[in-house]
A and B are shown apart, each in its own frame.
Chain A
Amino acid sequence: MTATPILRLRGIDKSFGAVQVLHDVSFDVHPGEVTALVGDNGAGKSTLVKCIGGIHPFDGGEYWFENEQVQVHSPRDAAAMGVEIVYQDLALCDNLDIVQNMFLGREKRRGLVLDDATMEEMAAQTLEGLSVRTVKSIRQQVSSLSGGQRQTVAIAKAVLWNSKVVILDEPTAALGVAQTAQVLELVRRLADNGLAVVLISHNMNDVFAVSDRIAALYLGRMAAQVSTSDVTHSQIVELITSGRSGDLGLAHSNGATA
């Protein structure tokens, strides 16, 4: 496996008011690999991802990107480094069309004026590249799309930017069987193209099908980060539900190992 992680978190803490959601979390993401991030509901997966994406500030800890320690204060900072996130609540504007959503905040312009033709071309190419053929027109409003189509738009938005790290928060949760397979295939393809991909999922079959590594969060602590080939389904399930599995996982009451 690849030697150096592109994104490295160390000792991350995060609280919302009095509630501490993340405790001393370490997390590595490698280029060319799919890292699955698993954990029970409320374990803190989405919070971790939002912190990586600059939506929430970390309370403490280190954020390393390409061997440099960085400060990410806003979504723009994360995007500038090449970190793109497909949020669980997709964060699309219903009243805008597909192209407008894909380029939101980073519109192509000619002088003052929006360069619609270029944006439309790029959006069409990206969707083409993802083998997406289900949308009728890329100029249709997002409010008229189905759940799977919206997911596709959100993913296309993330890969449009030659990003280096793409993080997908439960991208298949609302999808049917065929669409899920498509999205997973897409996830694998992104990693094979050299991107670092993080996939959050509750489905163990999906996780084992596409991931190279698995990171398990348990009650806001990183229980273990392991190679997918070194573990079994049941070990991961144990890590998710109790934070331990044999010699893997958290030492008893507090503090992380592994």
Chain B
Amino acid sequence: MTAAVAPEKPELPRGPGTSKKNGAAGTASMRSVARNYVDRVRGGELGALPAVLGLIVLCVFFAALRPVFLSELNFANLLTQGAGSIAIAMGLVFVLLLGEIDLSAGYASGVCAAVLAILLTDHGWPWYGAAGAAILTGTVIGLLLGVLVAKIGIPSFVVTLAAFLGFQGIVLMLLKEGTNISIRDQTILAVANNNLSPALGWVLLAVSVGAYAAIQLRQNRNRRRRGLATAPFTLLAVRIGGLAVLGAIAVHLLNQERSRNVIVDSLKGVPIVVPVIAVLLVAGTFLLQRTSFGLHIYAVGGNAEAARRAGINVAAIRISAFVICSSLAAVGGIIAASRGNSVDPNTGGSNVLLLAVGAAVIGGTSLFGGRGRVVDAVLGGMVVAVIQNGMGLMGYSSGVKYAVTGSVLLVAAGVDALSRRRAVQR
């Protein structure tokens, strides 16, 4: 639940080991772990490093110029502001891993949000029915895009550019040429507007840290028992401790009263979107890192021909990546609808897609395919949210915010291209 601020430790590809005999023994020393990490960074595998550094620099910068940036209220705002595009960015990671792009993810989220609003408000559906239908709409959209790309062979750039325009039109038609449908369902509104009770925040954090620790320690013990290379205990302790400490700081801050007028209404606790994003993060990470399906996504993105020769159904993998992307875009649309208390033709429009692509790339997901993780969307999404939020506090216009965010995306893409070149040259 505090994953949004989870520590980015030198991630070893599951079996950290530098032992002599094919890595098949012993516990690596902290030293060799650190050396491996430095080697990988030098070799162009920057991972989440730029995003984490960027986040720290930006936070220090804005905090120095506008102390209000560090207020509890602003911290909570930052999280709810970023949540919608983080969900979309998580989906984009799957498509980017294949070396494809989905330019329609923003408006797909708009279409799904419109479906949600119409079913909720005009047809009186219960929240779960409407939300389910919205996500199903995303799934169908992804299926369509995926088939056009993987079966017909149209470049994803063109398919999703066409869809970008098409979905914009569909949103307008669904909303009867631009009327705005307000959301009155309390459950949907709660997603981006309400908070967990302070106690529940602590409980969820404790459960998350406990589960993380249990999984890590069990895995480590299992590997040691089988005589396989294991991470040094210090590294595990740093990871688990880091998650616990950063999580505790975040929960503590968010549990402070941030209402200006406490008597009228109290405002404290972890925003509900935070556990929502955390669940998506854990599920997406599990899918990509721990299942065959995830491995096959990396394989297709790394070398589609090798994947084909390994018997992987490349078209099916491509289609499912688009399905995941559009379905998560639907979740992003629901969050946006909740946050805006309504859906209008701009939901999912204007800069939403750009911010989401920016989030994934800034977080460290490569535009060339084969490299990236779901957590990149969260880290990059926080960078984008901090820029938007901090510059807003400093009184800059939207124009300047767009220009700066665009430049940051370009820098991130440049870092991606250069680090790739570096990796290829070796």
Contacts and interface: CB of A to CB of B under 8 A. Distances in A.
Interface of A: 53, 55, 74-76, 79, 87, 91-97, 99-100, 104-107, 109, 112-114, 116-117, 120-121, 123-124, 127-128, 132-133, 135-139, 141, 143-144
Contact of B22 (A53, A138, A143): A138
5 nearest CB pairs, A to B: A105-B310, A137-B23, A95-B302, A76-B311, A93-B302
Nearest to A136: B18
Contact of B312 (A53, A94, A105): A105
B417 to A, nearest CB: 16
Given A96-B295, A97-B13, A137 B19 contact: yes
B222 A74 contact: no
B340 interface: no
Of B22, B23, B308, the most chain A CB neighbours within 10 A belong to: B22
Contacts of A105: 296, 307, 310-312
A121 B301 CA distance: 26
Q: Is the interface of B mostly helix, strand, loop or mixed?
A: loop
B17 A137 contact: yes
Given A79-B311, A107-B295, A113 B290 contact: yes
Interface in B163-187: none
Given A94-B370, A128-B22, A139-B17, A114 B308 contact: no
Interface of B: 12-24, 43, 222-223, 226, 228-229, 290-292, 295-296, 298-299, 301-303, 305-312, 370-371, 423, 426
Contacts of B12: 139
A47 to B, nearest CB: 14
A75 B21 contact: no
A117 B228 contact: yes
A139 B309 contact: no
In the complex, which of the residues B12, B302, B307, B426 has the most CB atoms of chain A within 10 Å of its own CB atom?
B302
A92 B16 CA distance: 21
Contact of B228 (A93, A104, A120): A120
Contacts of A123: 22
Contacts of A106: 310-311
A120 B21 CA distance: 12
A157 B222 CA distance: 25
A114 B295 contact: yes
A104 B15 contact: no
B291 A112 contact: yes
Contact of B18 (A114, A128, A137, A143): A137
Contacts, number: 121
A92 B308 CA distance: 11
Given A94-B302, A107-B292, A114-B290, A124 B22 contact: yes
Contacts of A99: 15
Nearest to B370: A95
Given A95-B371, A135-B22, A116 B295 contact: no
A93 B229 CA distance: 23
A135 B24 CA distance: 11
Given A79-B311, A121-B228, A137-B23, A116 B302 contact: no
A91 B15 contact: no
A171 to B, nearest CB: 16
Contact of B310 (A104, A132, A135, A137): A104
B223 A117 contact: yes
Contacts of A127: 22
Nearest to B25: A124
14 contacts: A79-B311, A91-B305, A91-B309, A92-B306, A93-B306, A96-B298, A97-B13, A100-B298, A105-B296, A113-B290, A114-B291, A124-B23, A136-B18, A139-B14
Residue among B23, B24, B223, B299 having the largest count of chain A Cβ atoms under 10 Å = B23
A50 B13 CA distance: 33
A258 B319 CA distance: 50
B370 to A, nearest CB: 4
A138 B24 contact: yes
Given A74-B311, A95-B301, A104-B307, A133 B24 contact: no
A104 B370 contact: no
Contacts of B290: 112-114
Contact of A75 (B229, B303, B309): B309
Contacts of B23: 120, 124, 136-139
Contacts of B13: 97, 139, 141
B378 to A, nearest CB: 21
Contact of B43 (A75, A112, A144): A144
